[in-house]
Structure 1
Amino acid sequence: MINVIGLGYIGLPTALMFAENGIEVVGTDYNESLVNLLKRGELTFEEEGLNDLLASALLKGIEFTNEYVKANTYIVAVPTPYVKESKKIDLKYVISAINSILDVCEKGSTIVIESTISPGTIDKFIKNEITNKGFNVGVDIHLVHAPERIIPGKMIYELENNSRTIGAEDKEIGEKVKELYSQFCNSEIIVTDIRTAEMSKVVENTYRDINIAFANELAKICRTDNMDVYEIIETANKHPRVNILQPGPGVGGHCISVDPWFLVGDYPDLTNLILSARKINDSMPSHVLGRMRDIMREHGIKDITKIGLYGLTYKEDVDDIRESPTLQLLEKMDEHLAYGVKVFDPFVKERVVEHQFMNFEDFLNEIEIIVILVSHTHIKQNMDLLKTKHILDTKNICSFESAYKL
């Protein structure tokens, strides 16, 4: 039996996939209201195909509880934020989960950590928690790191089709965990050592962060000298060995905007490029703010309440707002400037910020400047409604010649 700890964006889909493939699964989360919703077959976030998968898993016997249970295998999928002052990983959720597992597990159990962790975390911190409880690592408790590789909007597809990395000190244990994930993963599953698995996941997201930062820096250079960054990137990408990503209003989500800081925190003297990339991407909301001010000055608009921010999520066509550029932008505005700025997102059904509208037409009626921060399909399908507005298009999806770009 598997006990999946943490029923959020990663743990829940993973638990459902195991259950769908005939494995006995208990999902555990401290959030009692979440557990009760799942028992009733209801989700707390939207994801294509997940409703059907939940219904099927319930029929096949998956259980949800606030309690940790005895199991052969535990999968830990809890958040791993970073400490903003030191840039080091904050392991409080992982350590809490590990200790709760150790309170109920039997000798011989395997603990699989899916949460993204900085290189060396298991050696430096997790093993100590286990020995402090009187267990012998590698004998009484087996440790494995199997970092997740899925993205909201494509969770089921990516669980089935993305390759996986299994990090284990004991090759035999690694192969057993590989066999477990093979129940639903149709792609290559690599078995390696723990530290390699830890490092590879952080490196993946750091690479993407650096690529995005290059595009964002290009956008700033081109803005300074009145060049079209999008045409330049498109032209450069004709080269067979060049693949520059697109600039944007910032980097959000719980991976790319967080994981590179783990390396900066642990290796401060060796991560100059990574730190620079993080600073560039974190500066983009301020760049957007500057562009907003330019448009206001150009059109003589002094009333900040006439500005509307479209999009609250960190990426298109999902309801995930974690670390979103829009929230970063609102944080960077001082109280005077932020007062009265309108916000709308078709995927965010609950009010999470001041002056958030729930109706798109009402939102448009109140503004003169619209800042497109997320390229939802919704805005692409309703572009004609923006013809009378001054548009700042940070996602390069608007074909109007009058639209302003980054």
Structure 2
Amino acid sequence: MINIIGLGYIGLPTALILAANGVSVTGTDYDRELVDTLNSGMTTFEEDGLDKLFIKANENGVLFTTEYISTDIYIVAVPTPYDKASKKIDANYVISAVNRILEVCFDGAIIVIESTISPGTIDKHVRPLIQAFGLETGKDIHLVHAPERIIPGNMIHELKFNSRTIGADTKSIGERVKQIYSSFCDAEIIITDIRTAEMTKVVENTFRDINIAFANELTKICRTDKMDVYEIIRIANMHPRVNILQPGPGVGGHCISVDPWFLVGDYPDLTNLILAARKINDSMPKHVLGRIRDIMREHNIKDISKVGLYGLTYKEDVEDTRESPTLQLLENMAEHLAYGIKVFDPMVKSRVVDHQFMNFEDFLNEIEVLVIMVSHTHIKENMDLIEGKLILDTKNICSFNKSYKL
């Protein structure tokens, strides 16, 4: 029996895909409402293929509870935010989960940390917990880091086909955990040491953050001298060794916008490039505000309530709003603009901000300036409805004469 700790965006799909492939699984989460929802036969967020997987997992007897169970294998998939002041990881969720596990686990249990953590987190925060219980790692308890590598919107596919990294103190324990992940993962599974596994995951997301920052800095340079950044990137990418990503209104989600800070927090004197990239990407919501102000001045629009932001999620076609550029923009709005900007997102079914509309046409009827923050399929399929608006297109998806770019 495997006990999955944390049933959010990572833990739930992992629990379901293991159970669907014949592994005995109990999922644990502190949120009673979430557990009750799962036990009533409903999933807790929308994801392509998740409901189908849920049905198969239920057929195989997956269980959901608020309790930690006594077993010999645990997979921890709890949040790992960072402290915005120190830029260091906040390991409290991981610490709490491991402490609860140590109270009930069998002798010789394996604890797999799937949550993304900064290099050295297991040495600094987890091993001392085991020692405090009078236990010995490598004998009484075995520690493993197997970082998740999936993204909302394509989770089920990526669980099956993305390669995995397993960091373990010994190869034999690594091989045991590899067998578990091999039950559903068709890609290569690499066994290494724990510190390397910790570092590798953070480096992957940091690389992407730096690439996006380069594109965003190019955007600002090209804006200054009235050049088309998208055409420049398109031509540059024709070179076989160049792959510049697309600029955008900022970086969101719980990976790319968070993981680089772990390195900045732990290695402040050695992360000049990483810090610069973070600052560039974090500056983009303010850049969007500046572009909104420019458009309002050009068209003599004085009322901010005539501006609407399309998109609340951090990326297209998902419902995940964590660290989204739109929310970052709204947090900074008071520094630049008056109160009353309108918001709509077809993927977000509950109200999360002021002046949020739940109907697209009602939203459009109230605004003159439309700011496309997220390139949902929904708006691509409804271009005819927005053609008469002044459009700030931060995602480069429309070609109307009245549209403005970043």
Instruction: State the TM-score, normalizing by the size of structure 2.
Output: 0.99
Aligned position for 1:331 = 331
1:43 Cα offset (Å): 1.6
Q: Give a deviation string over 1:69-104, Cα, whole Å, max 9, x none.
A: 011200000000000000000001000000000011
* Cα displacement (A) at 1:58: 1.1
- Map of 1:265 onto structure 2: 265
Give how far 1:302 is off.
0.1
The more displaced of 205-214 and 37-46 is 37-46
Q: Which residue does 2:13 correspond to in 1?
A: 13
- Where 1:328 maps in the other structure, the secondary structure is helix
**Displacement of 1:133:** 1.1
Q: Corresponding residue for 1:278?
A: 278
Pairwise CA distance, 1:288: 0.2
Q: Does 1:240 align with 2:240?
A: yes
Amino acid at match of 1:153: G
Matches of residues 16-95 of structure 1 in structure 2 within 5 Å? 16-95=16-95
Partner residue in 1 for 2:125: 125
Question: Could you give the per-residue CA deviations for residues 224-276 of structure 1, whole angstroms, max 9, x where no partner exists?
Answer: 11000000000100100000000000000000000000000000000000000
**Counterparts of 2:332 and 2:11 in 1: how far apart (Å)?**
32
Deviations 1:89-123 (A, max 9, x none): 00010000000000110111000000000001111
- 2:290 aligns to what? 290
Structure 1-normalised TM-score? Answer: 0.99
User: What's the counterpart of residue 318 of structure 1?
Assistant: 318
| Structure 2 letter corresponding to 1:376 | H
Offset of residue 336 of structure 1: 8.1
Contact 1:216 1:284 in 2 (8 A): yes
Matches within 5 A, 1:193-204: 193-204=193-204
Given residue 16 of structure 1, which amino acid in structure 2 is its aligned partner?
L
SS at match of 2:69: coil
Post-superposition, which runs of at least 4 consecutive aligned residues in structure 1 deviate over 2 A? 335-338
User: CA–CA distance in 1 between the matches of 2:157 and 2:61?
Assistant: 23
Instruction: Return the alpha-carbon distance in structure 2 between the equivalents of residues 213 and 128 of structure 1.
Output: 37
SS of match in other structure, 2:256: coil
Work out the CA distance in 2 between the residues paired with 1:41 and 1:338: 45
1:347 aligned partner: 347
User: 1:160: which partner in 2?
Assistant: 160
CA contact (8 A) 2:2 2:75 kept: yes
CA contact (8 A) 1:216 1:248 kept: yes
- 1:152-207 CA-to-partner distances (Å, cap 9, x unmatched) read 01110000000000000111000110011000000000000000000000000000
Give the C-alpha shift of residue 337 in structure 1. Answer: 2.7
* Distance in 2 of aligned mates of 1:30 and 1:134: 26
Shift of 1:401: 2.5
Q: For the residues of structure 1 that align with 2:102 and 2:355, how far apart are their CA atoms?
A: 46
1:59 CA drift (Å):
1.4
Q: One-letter code of the match for 1:23?
A: V
Query: Which runs of 5 or more structure 1 residues have no equivalent in the other structure?
Result: none
User: Could you tell me which residue of structure 1 aligns to residue 151 of structure 2?
Assistant: 151
- Give the 3-state SS of the residue equivalent to 1:337 in structure 2: coil
How far apart are the structure 2 equivalents of 1:387 and 1:32? 46
CA–CA separation in structure 2 for the residues paired with 1:338 and 1:386: 24
Separation (CA, whole Å) in 2 of partners of 1:268 and 1:363: 44
| Aligned amino acid, residue 399 of structure 1 | S
Q: Which residue does the alignment assign to 1:307?
A: 307
Structure 1 residues 272, 67: CA separation in 2 closer, same or farther (over 3 Å shift)? same
Q: Distance in 2 between matches of 1:144 and 1:335?
A: 45
Q: CA deviation at 1:145?
A: 0.1
Is the Cα contact below 8 Å between 2:146 and 2:166 reproduced in 1? Answer: yes
Question: How far off is 1:56 after superposition?
Answer: 1.4
Greater mean alpha carbon deviation, residues 380-389 or residues 25-34: 380-389
Structure 1 residue 44 displacement after superposition: 1.8
Contact 1:330–1:338, Cα closer than 8 Å, also in 2: no
CA contact under 8 A between 1:5 and 1:11: conserved in structure 2? yes
Partners of 1:311 and 1:343 within 8 A in 2:
yes
Task: Write out aligned runs for 1:212-251 (5 A).
Answer: 212-251=212-251
Amino acid in the other structure paired with 2:163: S
What is residue 206 of structure 1 aligned with on the other side? 206
Q: After the TM superposition, which residues 375-390 of structure 1 pair with which residues of structure 2 at under 5 Å, given as runs?
A: 375-390=375-390
Q: For each residue in 1:307-333, what CA deviation from the matched residue of structure 2 results, as whole angstroms up to 9, or x when unmatched?
A: 000000000000000000000000011
CA shift in 2, pair 1:338/1:191, >3 Å: farther
- Look up the match of 1:139: 139
Percent sequence identity over aligned pairs: 75
Q: How many Å separate the matches in 1 of 2:222 and 2:201?
A: 32
In 2: Cα distance, 1:401 partner to 1:262 partner: 43
Report deviation, 1:125: 1.4
Contact 2:72 2:107 survives alignment (8 Å) = no
Q: Distance in 2 between matches of 1:395 and 1:322?
A: 19
The separation in 2 between residues aligned to 1:106 and 1:379, in whole angstroms, is 52
Structure 1 position 399, deviation (Å): 1.3
